[in-house]
Every structure is written in C-alpha cells, then in structure tokens.
Amino acid sequence: MLVPPLSLETRDFVVEHLEDSPENLRLIRDFTCSNNAMGLELYLKQQALNDEDNGQSRTYLVKDALTRELACYFSLRTCLIPYELADRRINLSAIELANFAVNDNYRRSQRAVAKIGEYVFVEIIRPLAKHISTCIGAGWLCVFALPKERLIDYYKKKLGFSKGCQRIKRSWCMVMSSRITTKIAYLCISGYS
C-alpha cells in the first residue's frame, strides 16, 4: 500500500519546504533567535541549504497562514538511538528533530499567539514524523538535547519526550525520545527484552 500524501497546514499555519519558493530565502535572512539559541539561527542561515543538497536533512518553514510571516522552522533526518540492555547495546531506528526554533521577530509581532513551539510540535511535527514513519519504518522521534535542565524539562513536560538510556553517556547532549507508533515501539522493546 502506498502512503497517501499528508497536508502540512493547520488553521493558523502553512508549512513549506525550505526550497519551495524564492521568498523563503528572504524570510530566512530576517529570522532571529535569542542569544541562547544563536546556533539554531546560524544553522538556518548558513547550513540548512547545504544539508539539503547533501541529503543530510530536510528543513521546513512554518508560516503564519494570514500574514505569511516566518513563525518557526524545523529540520528532520533519520538517526539511530543508542540503547543499552543488560547484555548488549542496540540501536533503534528513529526520526531526529535536528533543529527546531521559533522566530523572535514573529513572536514580537504576534504577541497574542502563545506557545507557538508546542502548537507546531503537536499539530505539525508529530503528525509529519508519524507519516514519515509509515514510509521508512522508524518507531521513535528523538532529539539530542543540549544538557541544560530548562531545555530538557521543556522537552519532557511540554513535548512528551523521555530521557534516553542513562548508561550511554554523551557530554554534549542528552538523548531524548518519544514513541511515534505504539506498534513499532512495542516490537522494538519486546523483541529485545
């Protein structure tokens, strides 16, 4: 069975691939992030197109449906989540939310729009990841979060991610994951327990 196409629109936002229109390049130049997320701004402006050309990730722009302002962006790619069992280490197939940032300019101009990141995650990113998982067989959505407690709490409490296996240490990030589909996740866990 072929997977039917997915509409990437909500009542409030439309989603376009980074290279869908020449206007997107102008919108990217005007995108800003706070100092704490400068790396996400630089990624969008300096690296996203290269990663597209090299097949490393896909970047999507989320635009306000009425004003066409760039509200936020996110990048997805495939990855493996390292997971350690009592007797061996395995890797679980996943879709990585590699970059995700809200445009500070949009946040300032649309003060009435609250919790943009949470809304986009629940209404756009998660359904898109679930759709992609039916094509490629990934059972998890993951993020390699910077080891900042406030950020990790946001991913856990607001977006529903769980901390990954604590026995696998990485000094630069915290592996966090969330099941995309119960069926695939159950098979992964039960097949290795």
In a domain, 4, yes or no: no
CA separation, residue 116 to residues 62, 71, 72, 137, 186 (Å):
10, 8, 8, 29, 31
Q: What was the pLDDT predicted at 149?
A: 85
Q: What was the pLDDT predicted at 3?
A: 53
Helix segments in the chain, DSSP class H: 23-29, 38-42, 48-53, 104-109, 116-120, 126-136, 149-157, 182-192
Count of structural domains, the chain: 1
In a domain, 1, yes or no: no
In a domain, 179, yes or no: yes
In a domain, 21, yes or no: yes
In a domain, 48, yes or no: yes
What is the mean pLDDT for each group of 10 consecutive residues in the chain (193 residues)? Answer: 65 92 93 87 96 95 95 95 83 92 91 84 92 88 85 88 62 76 41 32
Q: What is the dihedral of CA 14, 30, 43, 146, to 10 degrees?
A: -80
Say if CB 155 and CB 161 are below 8 A apart. yes
In a domain, 130, yes or no: yes
Q: What was the pLDDT predicted at 152?
A: 87
Q: What was the pLDDT predicted at 182?
A: 47
CATH number at residue 142: 3.40.630.30
Domain that holds residue 187: 13-192
In a domain, 86, yes or no: yes
- 144: tokens are 């390699």
Say if CB 73 and CB 99 are below 8 A apart. yes
In a domain, 167, yes or no: yes
Q: What was the pLDDT predicted at 61?
A: 97
Say if CB 95 and CB 74 are below 8 A apart. no
